[in-house]
Structure 1
Amino acid sequence: MNLRQLEILRAVIRHHTTVAAAEELALSQPAISNALKAMEAQAGFTLFERVNNRLFPTPEAMTLYEESEAIFTLHARLENRVRDLREQKTGHLSIVATPPLAYSIIPPTLSGFLRRRPQTRMFFDVRRYEGIIEGVLGNVAELGFALGLSDHPGIAHEVVHTGEMVCVMPARHPLADHDVISARDLAGFPLIGLERGTRLGEAVRESFRQADADFQPTVEVRYCNTACVLASTGVGLAVVDPFSPRQSGPDLVVRPFTPCTTVSAYVLWSEARPLSNLAKTFRNEVRNASRSLAGCVDAIGAPSLAASAERG
């Protein structure tokens, strides 16, 4: 006896007529009657007794009804699970990100994502670049987010935002009234440098070489958000990615920096396994959220290079 036959049996038991059962199951009355005859032939015993044009289940039929309850309960749960997966109401998603993205674009995106999916569970970790690669390749995280990218076998990637490095300083710094800060402008001022050998650290050093400007940092740090914290307290000026200053308060002034130093934010995932629908949706939401960062420098109080050029 298959699942459809059991479904018909249960409907007839509930309604006591083939007409009502047919209406519930969107079948014809003859189809219900023929199904009952086929079931009785297969079972080898009577399933219903007719009394005053109503069908009453035999004890054997009631046994089948009761024993099949667990099957239909499980089936209903499975259908609900399919619906939840389709609508992305439940599930588990693991992500890792480097600090500039973990403390800027990811939190508001994550907040909205989970607010619309209260039953979804997340794993979120902040790691260095090397940890992002290891996490994605090691199946610790389905998605990774990082600034800059080298080619890694087995890693698929997509650019979610491209911006330019900016200069940060305390609000009362002598250069705070400049629309744009050049590498040469920083001569003679204490400088907070990014660690040598890191992607952003080398990018900043290259921009100073292009400008034929000295790069002699007073303090070196690994992370841009650390540089922003130190800059806001007067330790020195720093050239950082466009994401990290968004974590700082009003004591930090942000200005465009020349020569222009491009930095891209990437989302990474493993080529060895397909992304879940939940991961694809989160990737799309991060991509959409990153569009609001196109005017990142403007949003935190500094004119863009293009605007400055127009005024010039």
Structure 2
Amino acid sequence: MSEQGSSRPDVSLRLLEIFDAIMRCETTVEAAEQLGISQPAVSTGLRQLEAQTGVTLFERLHRRLQPTAEAVALYEDIKPVFGLVRGFATRARDIRQGISGRLRIMSTPPLGHTVAPLAMRRFLKERPEVSFAYDVRRLEHVIEAVQGGAADLGLALALERHPAVNVEILARTHMVALLPAETEVSGTTVGAHSLSGSDFIGLEMESRMGTLVRNAFDRDSAPYHPRVEVRYCSTAAVLVAAGIGAAVVDPYTAAFQNGSAVIERSFLPPIEVTVAMLTRKGVPRSRLLHAFISEMKKALVDFDATGLQRKT
């Protein structure tokens, strides 16, 4: 095969961009404005493209460029490519502005069943191009997922720091007492002594929340003998609603029981719990993640203001 027959035009993507812009705009001035370059640069690029292809692409007609039949045929081949390029640019812009993309969120049950869904609903309403991978797991699973990169953000209670992940405190709150609806209660607070003398549903001692509750009873010199011991605050709340006994749970779990047969009161001595956000070490946060974190903070403020219409 001859050298002339085997050679191929060395056409750059930039020259094809100029060709695409002229085909759509029909003048070099408008094409230059759209591409953000000078009009002479567009004209030079067009001449280079015609020289490299050996094809006359445009004829000047009444100050506009009229594409030749050859140009129309070639444009049909490259048009899908530039549709993809423009789509890529649009998606990149949306990701940069935090209005498109996918977030992977994992939470422990108290926040995962209450405040996080509220933040997610608001977030998705304003961003139709965003999707979530969302899961509710135990704390150790949340930490593992964030550390390993399987989750972009973790949410948990009663965590101040951890060597494997970044921990940022979003809010501080206090645990509350939940009692069956038929319980006679006076006042707005319930103490550890009054709960220790009745059927009590405790949290397992291996958990951080269980340790906090046990320590509060010890501080008040109140006997701590749970009749039933459970792993999750949500399970304790369900048993309270079933009339089995009283429990001390986080306020988010208590809010999830709104409308159930329970009475909520402040618990003494106070048990402070943190609302913690977990992120992977050494990994910068995307604009999309920053936007969700902001929405999560707003949801926590709204909870503090309204209690999510908690039953008292």
TM class by smaller structure: 0.7 to 0.9
Question: Is 1:90 paired with 2:100?
Answer: yes
Question: Is 1:181 paired with 2:190?
Answer: yes
The 2-side partners of 1:101 and 1:15 are apart by: 53
The 1-side partners of 2:286 and 2:29 are apart by: 44
User: Given that residues 254 and 297 in structure 1 are in contact (C-alpha distance below 8 angstroms), is that contact kept between their aligned partners in structure 2?
Assistant: no
Q: In the alignment, which of 238, 247, 250 is matched to residue 238 of structure 1?
A: 247
The 1-side partners of 2:231 and 2:25 are apart by: 72
Question: Is 1:287 paired with 2:297?
Answer: yes
**How many angstroms does 1:9 deviate by?**
3.3
**How many angstroms does 1:31 deviate by?**
5.6
SS state at 2:304 partner: coil
The 2-side partners of 1:120 and 1:217 are apart by: 45
**How many angstroms does 1:275 deviate by?**
2.4
Question: Is 1:153 paired with 2:174?
Answer: no
CA deviations 1:59-82 (Å, max 9, x no partner) are: 554454344323312211112212
The 2-side partners of 1:212 and 1:232 are apart by: 27
For 2:274, the aligned partner's letter is S
Question: Is 1:275 paired with 2:307?
Answer: no
Instruction: Structure 2: state its 5+ residue gaps.
Output: 1-10
Q: Which residue of 2 aligns with 1:226?
A: 235
**How many angstroms does 1:55 deviate by?**
4.7
Q: Which residue of 2 aligns with 1:117?
A: 127
CA deviations 1:166-217 (Å, max 9, x no partner) are: 111022212x222111112224211111111211111111111111111111
Structure 2 CA distance for partners of 1:278 and 1:213, relative to 1, 3 Å: same
Q: Which residue of 1 aligns with 2:177?
A: 167
User: Given that residues 50 and 57 in structure 2 are in contact (C-alpha distance below 8 angstroms), is that contact kept between their aligned partners in structure 1?
Assistant: yes
Structure 2 CA distance for partners of 1:60 and 1:240, relative to 1, 3 Å: same
Q: Which residue of 1 aligns with 2:272?
A: 262
TM-score when normalising by structure 2: 0.84
**How many angstroms does 1:50 deviate by?**
5.0
**How many angstroms does 1:48 deviate by?**
3.6
Structure 2 CA distance for partners of 1:219 and 1:89, relative to 1, 3 Å: same
Question: Is 1:142 paired with 2:152?
Answer: yes
Structure 2 CA distance for partners of 1:50 and 1:136, relative to 1, 3 Å: closer
Instruction: Structure 1: state its 5+ residue gaps.
Output: 303-312
**How many angstroms does 1:108 deviate by?**
1.5
Q: In the alignment, which of 220, 243, 246 is matched to residue 211 of structure 1?
A: 220
**How many angstroms does 1:255 deviate by?**
0.5
For 1:212, the aligned partner's letter is S
Comparing 13-22 and 196-205, the one that deviates more = 13-22
SS state at 1:92 partner: strand
Structure 2 CA distance for partners of 1:237 and 1:16, relative to 1, 3 Å: closer
Question: Is 1:75 paired with 2:85?
Answer: yes
How many percent of aligned residue pairs carry the same amino acid? 40
For 1:186, the aligned partner's letter is L
Alignment of 1:25-44 (within 5 A): 32-43=42-53
User: Given that residues 158 and 274 in structure 2 are in contact (C-alpha distance below 8 angstroms), is that contact kept between their aligned partners in structure 1?
Assistant: yes
CA deviations 1:22-78 (Å, max 9, x no partner) are: 676677766654544444445555444456776544555445434432331221111
TM-score when normalising by structure 1: 0.84
Question: Is 1:198 paired with 2:198?
Answer: no
**How many angstroms does 1:280 deviate by?**
1.9
Comparing 17-26 and 285-294, the one that deviates more = 17-26
For 2:190, the aligned partner's letter is I
User: Given that residues 154 and 272 in structure 1 are in contact (C-alpha distance below 8 angstroms), is that contact kept between their aligned partners in structure 2?
Assistant: no
Count of aligned residue pairs for this structure pair: 301
For 1:112, the aligned partner's letter is R
The 1-side partners of 2:64 and 2:304 are apart by: 71
User: Given that residues 145 and 268 in structure 1 are in contact (C-alpha distance below 8 angstroms), is that contact kept between their aligned partners in structure 2?
Assistant: yes
